Structure 1
Amino acid sequence: MAAGQMKQVASLLLLLNFCMYVIVLGIGSWAINRAIDHGFIIGPGFDLPAHFSPIYFPMGNAATGFFVTYAMIAGVVGVAAVISGVNHIRLWTADSLPSAASAAAIAWSLTALAMGFACKEIELRLRNSRLRTMEAFLIILSVTQLLYIAAIHGAASTPRR
């Protein structure tokens, strides 16, 4: 593929990843808000419930708290990686590649970690449709983010004429 075609592929993947990371952040924000509103009340005269966890989510299962927390971190870093990626797409030089590639690699690694918790949550079952949506998006994002990294590196290795 020519460098121009790789730039188009990278741009499309960047736009797709941005939309999906924003959706993950929206669903994750809903989950955290719900956990805060319906969590344990701790104060004078209240005892901690048995098996208390500071990452308690009233919906989902035992993996939900970890899943949502890491999904939110991956979403924020993913959006930041998209900002760096837009700068690289705009300039498309070897000087802008390292920052875009490193930000994308960090976002991918955090997304893969959140995907691992998503797989554990799927294994444990008992979750609602919003969490299922976020799981699916993170599994898809782990692939599309890796494809984006390959696209920007593939363009760097194509010979110029």
Structure 2
Amino acid sequence: MASAQLKPVATLLLALNFCMYVIVLAIGGWSMNKAIDHGFIIGPGFDLPAHFSPIYFPMGNAATGFFVLFALLASVVGVASVISGFHHIRIWSSDSFPAAASAATIAWTLTLLAMGFAWKEIDLHTRNARLRTMEAFMIILSVTQFLYIAAIHGAPSSQI
């Protein structure tokens, strides 16, 4: 009975997570592209700026580079875990459970790491609307990914 009730919940959470991870990938890709295009120019005859950082982002604050980098990593792993999760939802057996659960857990831990940098970026204030959107999505994803993990673990293994 619990298995029949949790499968639609897990499916809804997977679809929601997929959409949010793709949005974070798009915004993070834009941020990374802008940072690469407008980063420091270093070469012969150029001096390093006083506060040079290899993870420099022309928008945001000191935590932006770390946040964007880990948000991109978490999102790529999150999308991969959604693919594994959809396979588990389709099969819904104990054979597909370990792969879905482990991929989801790895994605969740990386999402928590990115969320930590999001909180640091929020604490430092200066950032644009796109970065605020990414921060909000990473905070929401840390909760929804956990709920998905709880939903697939909530089904008794004899009913999966």
TM-score (norm 2): 0.97
Alignment match, 1:37: 37
Counterpart of 2:103? 103
Moved over 4 A (4+): none
Once the two structures are superposed, the pairs formed by residues 37-56 of structure 1 within 5 Å of their partners are 37-56=37-56
Structure 1 contact 55–65 (Cα < 8 Å) conserved: yes
Distance 2:3 2:156 in 1: 8
Asked if the contact 1:94–1:156 (Cα under 8 Å) also holds between the matched residues in 2, the reply is no
Query: Unpaired runs of 5+ in structure 2?
Result: none
After TM superposition, list the pairs within 5 Å mapping 1:75-154 onto structure 2: 75-154=75-154
Cα distance in 1 between the residues matched to 2:47 and 2:4 = 63
Asked whether the 8 Å contact 2:57–2:65 carries over to 1, the reply is yes
Mapped partners of 1:34, 1:120: distance in 2: 21
Partner amino acid for 1:12?
L
Residue 5 of structure 1, CA deviation: 1.5
Higher mean C-alpha displacement, 36-45 vs 105-114: 36-45
Deviation at 1:148, TM superposition (A): 0.1
Q: Is the 8 A contact 2:2 2:156 kept in 1?
A: no
The 1-side partners of 2:70 and 2:15 are apart by 22
Question: What CA RMSD, in Å, does the superposition of the two structures yield over aligned residues?
Answer: 1.0
Distance 1:103 1:156 in 2: 19
Q: TM-score, normalised by structure 1?
A: 0.96
Contact 2:115 2:139 in 1 (8 A): yes
Provide the aligned length of Structure 1 versus Structure 2.
159
Unaligned runs of 5+ in 1: none
- Tell me which residue corresponds to 1:6: 6
**What is the aligned partner in structure 1 of residue 22 from structure 2?**
22
Report if aligned partners of 1:70, 1:110 keep a CA contact under 8 Å in 2. yes
Deviation of 1:7 after TM superposition, in Å, equals 0.5
Paired AA for residue 152 in structure 1: I
Letter in 1 for 2:146: L
Amino acid at match of 2:131: L
- In the alignment, the residues of structure 2 paired with residue 149 and residue 96 of structure 1 have an alpha-carbon distance, to the nearest angstrom, of 14
One-letter code aligned to 1:143: V
Give how far 1:155 is off: 1.2
Deviation of 1:156 after TM superposition, in Å, equals 3.1
Matching residue's letter, 2:143: V
